[in-house]
Amino acid sequence: EILNTAAAKSTFTFDGNTPKSSGFGAAAKSSGAFSFKPTAGASAFSVGKGENEPDAVAAVKFGADATTGGASPGQGAEDHRTRLIAFYEKYNPEKLPTVDSTLKKFAGNEGELFAKLEHKYVKSQPIPPPSGTGPRCYLDISLDGNTASRLVFTLFADKVPKTAENFRALCTGEKGKSNDLRGTPLCYAGSKFHRIVPGFMVQGGDFTMGDGRGGVSIYGDKFADESFMAHTKRGLLSMANSGKNTNKSQFFITLKKAAHLDGKHVVFGELVSDESNVLDRMEELGDSAGKVNGQVTVKSCGELPEEAAKSAAKPVPAKAAMPPMSAK
């Protein structure tokens, strides 16, 4: 679990194996080398060629509490109570009568309480495999200005409705423009895939900045994680983020199984049709640092009518796993 908080100070850098929206602090360089050096308790993100993002500090230590922010003490207490009620309703309704006494016992240490609960109830439960039903959406992908080829996805709207709806509406562009000063259209059309790591994933969806530092959801700036499913195969759609509950518009498509992302990124769909093997050709344009050697552009996108969607019903077969990348 990764929470955004300025409290953590230790180092957590990447070897290219995490799709990340880098919208904090200094701009992240997509071509930078990554390393993975977790330390005990907490961690901080360092992205690119040693460039730190001081505001993008993330705690992996159970107990970091990012729910109350600058709320007043009374408001924070109510937030904790609401959160605990929701947790018990989901995992152990028999504990609901103990909400107030439990909060009294852990007054001032609510982070520790929720860490223990998560460890007891959530971490012990296996993450389910990806599956679901919902609308089918398409991205028409152009490589270096050439004729576009189509990727078609089934969205898991029955499992993660809010995440699926965000992607669907950003494909259709039906929400109009964002509320930022530029009035950016809320649509993937014209955006680029800014990060491609062969044998791992292709990442896009940043239609505001184009380099992984931007993006916005149809719900405002960002929205919370929904249910997690496992990253078990090639062709899964999943949300890129900068920590827990920071979903915007950026997404990635897996190129192989990526179990280390389970429980951190929300899977919300799968590839069911790949015209002209365009995903393979996209993969060939990346390198181990994620740099894209060419232009990979979403020329158009949208939602398929029901009848057209039925013709794209077969999941794309898995590709043979590539050897793991060496950390730099």
- Catalytic residues, by residue number, are 195, 200, 203, 241, 252, 261, 265
The C-alpha atoms of residue 163 and residue 210 are separated, in whole angstroms, by 21
Strand order in the sheet with 195-197: 195-197, 201-204, 251-254, 236-239, 267-274, 149-155, 136-143, 296-303
The type of residue at 236 is L
Which has the closest alpha carbon to 221: 190, 242, 203?
242
- The set of residues, in sequence order, having a beta carbon less than 8 Å from that of 97 and lying 6+ positions away, is none
**Order of all β-strands in the sheet with 43-47:** 3-4, 51-59, 43-47, 12-13
Q: Which residues have C-beta within 8 Å of that of residue 55, sequence separation ≥ 6?
A: 6, 24, 25
Q: Which structure tokens are listed for 165?
A: 């709806």
Half-sphere exposure of 194 (CA within 13 A, CB side): 27
Instruction: Please count the other Cβ atoms lying within 10 Å of the Cβ belonging to residue 233.
Output: 21
